[in-house]
């Protein structure tokens, strides 16, 4: 009798499959001849979360979205969107999914309300029901006062907000956004991201946000999937991804009040004496914090010891802050760790 195989560890961010999750893919694959655009994609987006699908142009993000909407059929694997196979029931899936392109197409000579009224009619909403839904979504995206203006007078940020209203007017279960903040000014970006967070909180939507803009994904997404060359190479919260692909040592910034540069080495010597501290870097300029490196599994105890040591030594501690790696750092380390740096659809 052969021994049972040991269970394999589940990657960060992976849990047991939720049968009620509104968006699930299993081994989803799309090939164009010899090119594999999407390769064995396992993905799950839950209600009440913003999931960021992060990857450079050409990574396979848009191809994935096209399969989720039933606009192209997978070569292998399967997808379930609100419990339906989009390849078999594309119309029903489109009725229950709001979709926003990076460049939304509207009739510029018509008002925002008229454009929304057209979308509502395509989804079976007319009369008072349609007008009530239009009033609600215009209010949600902050365009009530501009609803009667022609779309040709809108800024790009306003057009994107109208695009979100257009996606919401049919009261979808899922919102899929493909590069929604491209070429929008910084204030408009903040407005769009704040709006997404509000929609998730108030409506409990599941949101799939596809983007190559790392800072924006990090600022708004609950979980992130790192996508490169058609493969999902990492998935989880930013701290989970940092633990998987970040540096082996945690970095803690420690600030003190009124430490003369001549006392830097003495201060560093005290910090190095703390159990779990691997290295101490002194500030390069006066007023900057010390950097303490510690093993990740000792971070909490090192922070506590820093506080206790400062109190016992009469050191005027002003701040203790762990530096979480940026998503940009995590992304690049993930590509190098998986051998995909420089591959199609990735950044070197």
Q: Which helix (H) or strand (E) holds 15?
A: none
CB-based burial label for 114 (10 Å; 0-12, 13-18, 19+): middle
Alpha helices in 155-237 (DSSP H): 156-168, 186-203, 214-220
Whole-model pTM: value is 0.78
Q: Give the Cα separation of 53 and 44 in Å (integer).
A: 11
For the stretch 242-248, contacts whose Cβ atoms lie closer than 8 Å and that sit 24 or more positions apart, written own/partner, are 242/324, 242/325, 242/330, 243/12, 243/296, 244/11, 244/12, 244/334, 245/330, 245/333, 245/334, 245/337, 246/325, 246/329, 246/330, 246/333, 247/325, 247/333, 248/295, 248/296
Q: Which residues pair with 99 in a beta bridge?
A: 176
CB-based burial label for 319 (10 Å; 0-12, 13-18, 19+): exposed
Residue 295's φ and ψ, nearest 5 degrees, are -65, 140
pLDDT of amino acid 348: 36
User: Which DSSP string corresponds to 111-167?
Assistant: BHHHHHHHHHHHTT--HHHHHHHHHHHHHHTT-GGGTTSBGGG--HHHHHHHHHHHH
Tokens for 51? 């999931």
Neighbours of 79 (CB within 10 A): 22
Enter the DSSP assignment of 71. Answer: S
Q: What distance lies between CA 22 and its chain's CA centroid?
A: 17
Whole-angstrom CA distances from 104 to 71, 177, 341 are 17, 11, 32
Domain definitions of the chain by residue range: 23-243, 248-323
CATH class name, domain 23-243: alpha beta
Tokens for 273? 């004496």
Whose CA is closest to 100, among 113, 82, 119, 77?
Answer: 119
248-323 adopts what CATH topology? Alpha-Beta Plaits (3.30.70)
pLDDT of amino acid 10: 43
**Would you call 17 helix, strand, or coil by DSSP?**
coil
Strands 174-178 and 206-211: parallel
Per-residue pLDDT for the chain (348 aa), expressed as one digit of tens each?
Answer: 444 443 333 444 455 556 679 999 999 999 999 999 999 999 999 999 999 999 988 899 999 999 999 999 999 999 999 999 999 999 999 999 999 877 778 999 999 999 999 999 998 889 999 999 999 999 989 999 999 999 999 998 899 899 999 999 989 999 999 988 877 888 888 888 998 999 899 888 999 999 998 888 999 999 999 999 999 999 999 888 988 887 778 889 999 998 888 999 999 999 999 999 999 999 998 889 999 999 877 888 999 999 999 999 999 999 999 887 888 889 998 998 888 766 555 443
């Amino acid at each position: 009798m052969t021994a049972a195989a040991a269970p394999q560890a589940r990657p960060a961010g992976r849990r047991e499959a939720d049968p009620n999750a509104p968006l699930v893919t299993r081994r989803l694959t799309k090939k164009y001849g010899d090119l594999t655009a999407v390769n064995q994609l396992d993905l799950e987006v839950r209600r009440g979360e913003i999931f960021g699908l992060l990857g450079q142009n050409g990574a396979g993000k848009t191809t994935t979205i096209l399969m989720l909407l039933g606009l192209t059929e997978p070569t292998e694997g399967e997808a379930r969107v609100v419990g339906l196979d989009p390849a078999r029931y594309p119309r029903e899936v489109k009725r229950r999914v709001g979709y926003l392109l990076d460049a939304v197409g509207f009739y510029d000579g018509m008002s925002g309300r008229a454009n929304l009224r057209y979308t509502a009619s395509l989804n079976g909403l007319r009369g008072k029901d349609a007008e009530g839904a239009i009033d609600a979504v215009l209010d949600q995206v902050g365009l009530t006062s501009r609803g009667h203006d022609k779309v040709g007078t809108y800024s790009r940020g306003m057009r994107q907000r109208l695009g979100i209203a257009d996606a919401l007017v049919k009261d979808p279960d899922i919102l899929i956004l493909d590069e929604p903040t491209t070429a929008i000014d910084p204030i408009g970006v903040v407005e769009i991201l704040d709006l997404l967070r509000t929609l998730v909180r108030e409506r409990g939507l599941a949101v799939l946000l596809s983007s190559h803009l790392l800072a924006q994904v990090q600022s708004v997404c609950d979980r992130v999937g790192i996508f490169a060359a058609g493969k999902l190479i990492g998935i989880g919260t930013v701290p989970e991804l940092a633990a998987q692909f970040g540096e082996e040592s945690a970095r803690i910034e420690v600030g003190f009040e009124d430490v003369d540069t001549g006392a830097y080495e003495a201060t560093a010597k005290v910090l190095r004496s703390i159990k779990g501290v691997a290295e101490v870097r002194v500030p390069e300029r006066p007023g900057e914090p010390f950097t303490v490196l510690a093993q990740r599994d000792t971070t909490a105890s090192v922070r506590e010891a820093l506080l206790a040591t400062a109190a016992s030594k009469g050191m005027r501690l002003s701040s203790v802050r762990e530096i979480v790696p940026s998503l940009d750092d995590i992304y690049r380390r993930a590509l190098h760790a998986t051998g995909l740096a420089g591959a199609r659809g990735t950044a070197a």
